[in-house]
Amino acid sequence: DAVIALDNGDTIHGTFIAVNSKGEALVPILNALAFDSMTAHWEFAYGPDNFRRIVDKLDFPMLAINCYKKFTDRLVFPPFHIVERGGLRVGVIGIASNI
């Protein structure tokens, strides 16, 4: 299979079930979709601790080259991920958007 599936964010916000569960209800669906990685935008709307809990339950990495732990220079998420498909290695860089 030579397909690379990426989630560009805004996935765990905006629908009744997503907002009502603060994104939690979408975790099994996201895992079933088997994304190779994701980045974020409105996923931060429920706060950093909630988003961290959701990310910890995902079967794929959340990428963000531009999200740092407050008052430090430590990245919160990996900045990139290497995906191998069809004999190729593809670098995926995550850039999260602020809200």
Q: What per-residue confidence (pLDDT) applies to 19?
A: 94
Amino acid (one-letter) located at 14: G
SS3 39: coil
Question: Considering the chain, what percentage of its residues have pLDDT values greater than 70?
Answer: 98
Confidence category of residue 99, pLDDT binned at 50, 70, 90: low
DSSP assignment letter at 73:
S
Q: What per-residue confidence (pLDDT) applies to 2?
A: 87
18 contacts 30 by C-beta, under 8 angstroms? no
Q: Tens digits of per-residue pLDDT, 12-55?
A: 998 999 999 999 999 999 999 999 999 999 999 999 999 999 99
The structure tokens 């974020």 sit at 40
Q: Is the pLDDT of residue 1 over 80?
A: no
- Listed by start position, the domains of the chain span 6-93
Q: Which residues of 72-90 are buried (b: 16+ CB within 10 A; e: fewer)?
A: eeeebbeeebeeeeeeeee
The structure tokens 């850039």 sit at 95
Q: What per-residue confidence (pLDDT) applies to 88?
A: 94
